[in-house]
């Protein structure tokens, strides 16, 4: 963690006041929510934006010639501008809305994987992917004979760069599809370096930024990657909306995935022609309210600023690693140098589900299980871990509560 630690940059108490849910009590205890990596809580601004839209202007987008539809189209399309600015995309047309990260990766596996990649080529992922960045490529392999390669993870939980580079040597890899931040280990992958190496061997690069974009400024032009996907609900936005960013020329070359309304230019029984990008990839009525909510979430994040977010996260992570190190029998899984606010651990012989349930009794919400990353669990000889993850509203006191709660769980089982 080389990020400057300046927690003063972010007034957590003021931020917490923006999240209505944080005043909840759970089983009579103050909620300590340490499961933001699974899905983050929503600020008032997001809730209000969605309710307001429903109460004052709601109609379908892109098709009505009436006031309501025009207002709603404007608000919804505002999300595209906000997302483009968030990622420093060259153009708003490079933002394709999907249902979530999973939807974005599946879109890519269909349109790029089946439309552009050729049998005999390979897709290269890492050993720390979420199932959503494994299974679509397996389906592609079965369907089209496109090889799936896996770059190994070191004992510290980092990408093995030498092995990664070796897997690119035969120039068969057409696409590197890799996480930008592991949802289990917290590892932030060396994205710039990955792109340089991959491009040098003729491969395009997609990042799964589901976790990374919550904590780090993502600049797709500076990264020089080709595709970048993320999901709204982890960035304090609603469920049901995600983003595929791609270079415009790639989107133009790719065939559509879903067919239907909104994605066409004209339809006859003999032949249909496609709408311009990004609409070519957005068949059917989109997640209108979710887009409006996501716009508010992006505005919220931008107002805080990534410098403050990253500093807050670095400070929390540092505190968590230090405090958890004092819990007897606790082992942290993943010791990457560059890491974000996600910490997985095992506690002696206690099963992760018992640990999570006993923390829940104390009002502390963590996740336990394989975190949709079974191959990674097996890499570390585990079936499951417990995981604490942090958001903009997480406090140092909550991490202290976690550490104290874990000491009690450990003593309870001793």
Partner 1 sequence: MSGTDNFDDLRDLYQEVILDHGRHPRHAQRLQTFDATAKGDNPMCGDRVQVWVKYDGDRLDHVGFEARGCAISVASADLMAETVQGRAKADTKALFEAFRTMARTGACPDCGGALAEPLERLAPLSGVHEYPSRVKCATLPWHALIAALDGTKEASSE
Ligand X SMILES: Cc1ncc(COP(=O)(O)O)c(C=O)c1O
Active site residues: 372
Partner whose footprint covers residue 102, from partner 1, ligand X, none (CB < 5 to 8 Å by kind): ligand X
Please report how close the Cβ of residue 412 comes to partner 1 at its closest, in angstroms.
5
179 interacts with ligand X by CB under 6 A: yes
Contact 103, 242 (CB under 8 A): yes
By beta-carbon proximity to ligand X, the closer residue of 121 and 210 is 210
Plot region of 260 (φ>0 → left; ψ -120 to 50 → alpha; else → beta):
left
41 interacts with ligand X by CB under 6 A: no
Please report how close the Cβ of residue 95 comes to ligand X at its closest, in angstroms.
17
Characterize 197-206 residue by residue with b for buried, 16 or more Cβ atoms within 10 angstroms of its Cβ, and e for exposed: bbbebebbbb
Taking the C-alpha atoms of residue 84 and residue 247, their distance in angstroms, rounded to an integer, is: 12
Per CB under 6 A, the segment of 66-74, 206-214, 247-255, 348-356 that binds ligand X is 206-214
101 interacts with ligand X by CB under 6 A: yes
Residues in contact with partner 1 by the rule CB under 8 A: 350-354, 357-358, 360-362, 368-370, 377, 383-384, 404, 407-409, 411-413
Give CB contacts under 8 A, 24+ apart, made by 354-357. Answer: 354/409, 354/413, 355/386, 355/406, 355/409, 356/386
Please report how close the Cβ of residue 384 comes to partner 1 at its closest, in angstroms.
5
Among 75, 111, 126, 210, interactor with ligand X by CB under 6 A? 210
Contact 329, 413 (CB under 8 A): no
Among 102, 121, 315, 395, interactor with ligand X by CB under 6 A? 102
Mark 55-94 with x for binding to ligand X (rule: CB under 6 A) and - for no binding.
Answer: ----------------------------------------
106 interacts with ligand X by CB under 6 A: no
Pairing of strands 242-246, 95-98: antiparallel
98 interacts with ligand X by CB under 6 A: no
Partner whose footprint covers residue 353, from ligand X, partner 1, none (CB < 5 to 8 Å by kind): partner 1
231 interacts with ligand X by CB under 6 A: yes
3-state helix, strand, coil in the chain (%, to 5): 45, 20, 35
385 interacts with ligand X by CB under 6 A: no
Tokens coding 336: 């990457």
Question: Based on the number of CB atoms within 10 Å of its own CB, is 281 exposed (0-12), middle (13-18) or buried (19 or more)?
Answer: buried
Pairing of strands 242-246, 342-347: unpaired
Per CB under 6 A, the segment of 129-137, 160-168, 300-308, 379-387 that binds ligand X is 129-137
Taking the C-alpha atoms of residue 231 and residue 158, their distance in angstroms, rounded to an integer, is: 23
By beta-carbon proximity to partner 1, the closer residue of 318 and 404 is 404
Beta bridge partners of 272: 267
By beta-carbon proximity to partner 1, the closer residue of 67 and 412 is 412
Contact positions vs ligand X (CB under 6 A)? 100-102, 130, 132-133, 179, 183, 208, 210-211, 231, 372
């Amino acid at each position: 963690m080389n990020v400057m630690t300046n927690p003063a940059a972010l007034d957590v108490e003021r931020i917490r006041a923006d999240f209505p849910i944080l005043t909840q009590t759970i089983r009579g205890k103050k909620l300590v929510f340490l499961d933001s990596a699974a899905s983050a809580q929503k600020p008032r601004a997001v809730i209000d934006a969605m309710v307001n839209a429903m109460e004052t202007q709601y109609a379908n987008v892109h098709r009505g010639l009436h006031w309501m539809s025009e207002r709603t189209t404007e608000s919804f399309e505002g999300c595209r501008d906000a997302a483009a600015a968030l990622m420093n995309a060259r153009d708003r047309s490079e933002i394709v809305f999907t249902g979530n990260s999973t939807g974005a990766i599946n879109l890519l596996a269909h349109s790029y994987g089946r439309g552009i990649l050729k049998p005999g080529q390979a897709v290269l992922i890492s050993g720390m992917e979420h199932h959503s960045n494994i299974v679509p490529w397996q389906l592609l392999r079965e369907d089209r004979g496109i090889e799936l390669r896996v770059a190994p993870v070191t004992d510290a939980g980092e990408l093995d760069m030498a092995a990664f580079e070796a897997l690119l040597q035969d120039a068969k890899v057409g696409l590197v599809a890799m996480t930008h931040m592991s949802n289990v280990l917290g590892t932030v992958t060396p994205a710039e370096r990955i792109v340089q190496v991959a491009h040098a061997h003729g491969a395009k690069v997609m990042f799964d930024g589901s976790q990374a974009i919550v904590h780090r400024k993502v600049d797709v032009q500076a990264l020089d990657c080709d595709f970048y996907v993320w999901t709204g609900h982890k960035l304090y936005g609603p469920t049901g909306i995600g983003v595929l960013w791609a270079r415009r020329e790639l989107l133009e070359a790719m065939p559509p995935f879903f067919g239907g309304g909104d994605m066409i230019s004209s339809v006859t029984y003999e032949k249909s022609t496609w709408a311009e990008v990004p609409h070519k990839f957005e068949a059917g009525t989109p997640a209108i309210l979710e887009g409006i909510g996501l716009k508010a979430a992006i505005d919220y994040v931008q107002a805080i600023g990534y410098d403050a977010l990253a500093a807050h996260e670095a400070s929390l992570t540092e505190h968590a690693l230090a405090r958890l190190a004092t819990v007897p029998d606790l082992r942290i899984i993943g010791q990457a140098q560059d890491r974000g606010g996600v910490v997985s651990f095992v506690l002696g012989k206690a099963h992760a589900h018992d640990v999570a349930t006993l923390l829940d009794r104390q009002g502390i919400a963590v996740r336990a299980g394989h975190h949709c990353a079974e191959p990674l669990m097996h890499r570390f000889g585990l079936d499951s871990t417990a995981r604490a993850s942090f958001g903009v509203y997480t406090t140092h006191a909550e991490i202290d509560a976690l550490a104290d709660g874990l000491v009690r769980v450990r003593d309870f089982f001793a």
